[in-house]
Structures are given as C-alpha cells and as structure tokens.
Structure 1
C-alpha cells in the first residue's frame, strides 16, 4: 500500500476551505494532518467541518509539532515568504497561493532553498491546468498559427468587496467568511494587480512559452491599485498588454 502524503494547511481560511482542503480530504493519496489559522473561532469551524484534530494558531508550532510531507500556504500575501521559508527549512514541500512572495529577492531566496534541498515549491496558478489555455499553448508552440507578434489580455470585474471598498456579499460560498486582508496594502503587498494580475501573466507565459525581457506599467495608485495597464515585451520581441 502506498503511503499517503501528509498535508498541513497554513492559512485555513475561506479560500483554503473552498478549494484546497476539500481536494486534500477527497484524495486517496493524501491525508489532512493539521490546520493553522490565527482566528481560533474560525479555525475550529473549519477543523470541525473537515474532522481535523490537530489545530494551531501559530504556524511555527504546527511545523514543530506535526509530522508532515508538505504544506499548503493560503495566508495573506506578505506572509508567504516567512511561511514558505520555514516550511522548506523543515524539509517540507510547499504549495503556496499566488503570489509566491511580494518581493523579488524573497522569491529568489525561496527558489534557492528549495533547489538546494531538493524540495518542490509550486505556486497555485490556474493556467497550466485550464483546457482552453492548453489548447492555445498547443496552437502557438506547434507553430500552427505562426510566430506570436502581439498579445492582448483583459480582465474586467468587480472585486471591491475583497479589498474592503464595498460591502461583503452575504451569499459567498465557504465554511467561513473571507477576511479583508487585501484592504491592507502591507499585508496584501499592494492592490488588485499583485492579487489577480499573476493569473494574466501566468496565462501569457504559459501559452507562449516565452519569457519577458521588458515590462512597463501604469497604475491608478502604485501603493494600492485597482486599475493597471501593463505592457510586456517578450524575448521574441512580441508586444503584449
């Protein structure tokens, strides 16, 4: 019998309770062994729903106390670095919600630690798993539609409630309600683009298979943006916005 992969969750909040934790408990190859969240009342609700006995309000205590193979990190963006760094130093594989970190040097350090220790770090981005992006990727990389010269991607939607700029809807799914950490630019690492723009960049790089060599951006507020226009020059000189 194959050994189940023991998973702990740091940041057992609304999103983790809707997306990550159900997948773990439903998988025949994984076992949910610990949950961590700073809000003890909300943590108990999640733990009771998923029948997890090991609960912690301090992720360091969880990493020291429970035998695990890997962790899922779904904490506020600015905490990803310290959460992932310590988990890697403990010898654990890491799946972390986007963005990996809020600073380039932090991301580079996380990558180096993982490489040095032979561990896996995965950022939870959707495009590599979407059917339509894989279809577009095949069209582009097979050469069927020729060399890419220009790419345009737009994302228009209302996310003001998760930034604390509008009332939170009463009918949101999940075991517990979401927090409004995105309304704090220090915890969120910025505004809307660092939260959701990574999906668009991931889609661009995944489908084209190309890296960026030049990036420019205009934001309505660089400290806490709600609207951003970005121009990207790819390594084949294609222009994207």
Structure 2
C-alpha cells in the first residue's frame, strides 16, 4: 500500500483502552490512527500529541463528521456505547465497538438493525475471537486429540474493584460485562450456543453491581461449563477443556498466551505459544478492514448473532443475580406506560 491509501481510523474516547488501540495502530502497516476525540479538546490534544495523531476533536460529533475516516473505534465505558455507536452509524461511519458491546441485548439488537439499515459494518471488538491462537484452538479441538469434550472451566479475575468502571452502576459496572464476558466467550468458542440451563450467583457492592460471579451453563449435548470472574482478586485467568482422553489448558483467556495439551495421564503432548504481537488488538482491526474490502457488513470471527447471544446470556445472568443498570429502569418505565 502506498502512503496515500492508508486506512484511516478514528478513536472515540481517550481512556486506557483507547491508548491500547492507539499503540496498536502505530505498529500496524497500511493503517493509521487519523484522529481522536474526547469530550474536552484538551484531553484529545494531549492524547494526539502523545501518539503523534494529526487530528483531534473536542467532541464526538466532530470526529464522526470527519469525511476522511474509514472506521471509528469506540473506546468509551459500556454505558456510553449505545449513544456513541448510534452517533457514528447515523454519521455514515463503520464501527468497531469495544466489548461488552452494549448494556443489554435490546440495545445491541437496535444498533445492529441500524447498521443493517445504513449498510454499514458494525462489529464488537471481542478481540479473543480474532487471535491466531483462537484459530489454533479450533484446529486442536477439531483434531479430536483429547476426545469427546464434557466440560469447560473458564476464569478471568483481576483485583480492580477500586476502578470506577467496576463500581459505578451508571457506567454499566460490575465484573460480568467487564471480565466475565471473556469466560462466556471462551465457553461459546468451545461448546457453542445451544444452552438449556443457566444458574448464577454473584456478590454485589453497595451500588448493586456484581463484584464476583459464578455462572454454570448446561448444554443440550450434555456438556457443561463453569465461568468465574472476580474483580476483587487475582485468578488463574485460564480456560480448561475436559476431554475423554485428556485436557487442554489455555492461559490468559483475554489474550491467549499459550495452549497446552495433556493426555489422560496428565503428560504434556502439545504446546503452542502466542506469536509476537503488537497488543493483540491488531487482528480485529485487520478483520474489520478485510470485511470492508470484501463488502461484508459483519466480521466472520464475531458475527452479529454471536454478540447478541452473549448479551442475551449476560441479561439472563443479571436477571438471576439482580444486577440492573439505571438506564434499564428508564427503559422499563417507558415500556410500562
């Protein structure tokens, strides 16, 4: 690619995850971070200076109006995704939106419908589905090396209970949408979506947000999964797959660092390590631009149906654990009238 037709990405938001994306784009070929927007010009300018980004805007509207941008990456808290994605789509922009995609399935469905209506690409940036090692895991499972699979355990836990985005109900807080989504995604990648029963428990903070969750899933096939997440402790962050002839361990289910295969005697019979990467975010960006080049409106690694399914499961879990966001109470009141 010549320097003239580099794909241009605009980052909406300037938090930690926006920084990760800016760093990613710096290291990528054929793609550039063309602009960044914050709700204050000063924040946007500081961010732009740090990452040598040419354009910065003090409002999300200005970013979405920039005619040169090919793709907008939404990096705001979950609670803002609905408004931000809506703005971008209504401005005619393709969107890669950070996970958890929305607060609930209803919001997600509305945004996918809007994207379809506008003929635009909208993808959830569930980056683990795009990783090369995720493809490797699918191959290993298809080879049937550990035989028929009966169970999956998946954990992602970090002590980050002090973070506002976890504590605060108005930000779409809690552990489930922030880190539990990875365990649910891991289970879905291995066992699929044909779930017949879900049981969940959670410990809630004073604001009614879940600080830790345990979710058990039962599948029509007789397979089961246990997904755990804690925002008040460090866990093993592993995915474990139980087979008739052995088991597989995936380290770091939020960015696979290795896959180890064990036989039924517990001996290592296979080991796959993460290849060198910029941050791991590059794969979802590549996929989004590949989809745009092919004229697709969704990425095959993370189709709309899968985003909706995971949101649907999280709605179900929150219904059991009693976690509700203030935005949803407003929705309930509107539908009651």
Q: Which category describes the TM-score, using the shorter chain as reference length?
A: 0.7 to 0.9
**Alignment partners' CA distance in 2, 1:147 and 1:210:** 17
**Alignment partners' CA distance in 1, 2:63 and 2:161:** 33
User: Is structure 2 residue 198 aligned with structure 1 residue 196?
Assistant: no
Shift of 1:118: 3.5
Shift of 1:193: 1.3
Partner of 1:71: 72
Partner of 2:225: 240
Alignment of 1:60-209 (within 5 A): 60-130=61-131, 132-161=133-162, 163=163, 180-187=164-171, 189-209=172-192
Q: TM-score, normalised by structure 1?
A: 0.81
Q: 1:127 to 1:14 in 2, by over 3 A?
A: closer
Q: Deviations over 1:122-169 (max 9, x none)?
A: 2222322445544432232343333322211223331223x2xxxxxx
Shift of 1:25: 2.9
Alignment gaps of 5+ in structure 1? 164-179
Partner of 1:225: 210
Task: Indicate the larger mover: 8-17 or 211-220.
Answer: 211-220
Shift of 1:72: 0.5
Cα contact 1:205–1:211 (8 A) shared by 2: no
Partner of 1:215: 198
**Alignment partners' CA distance in 2, 1:211 and 1:89:** 34
Shift of 1:56: 1.8
Cα contact 1:141–1:208 (8 A) shared by 2: no
Task: Indicate the larger mover: 193-202 or 61-70.
Answer: 61-70
Cα contact 2:216–2:225 (8 A) shared by 1: yes
Cα contact 2:40–2:59 (8 A) shared by 1: no
**Alignment partners' CA distance in 1, 2:67 and 2:177:** 32
Shift of 1:33: 2.1
Shift of 1:39: 4.2
Q: Deviations over 1:29-48 (max 9, x none)?
A: 11222211124433222111
Q: TM-score, normalised by structure 2?
A: 0.60
Partner of 1:168: none
Shift of 1:24: 1.8
Cα contact 1:13–1:43 (8 A) shared by 2: no
**Alignment partners' CA distance in 2, 1:140 and 1:230:** 23
Cα contact 2:156–2:179 (8 A) shared by 1: no
**Alignment partners' CA distance in 2, 1:141 and 1:118:** 35
Q: 3-state DSSP class of the match of 2:185?
A: helix
Partner of 1:43: 44
2:16 to 2, 14, 17: 14
Partner of 2:327: none
User: Number of aligned pairs?
Assistant: 222
Larger radius of gyration: 2
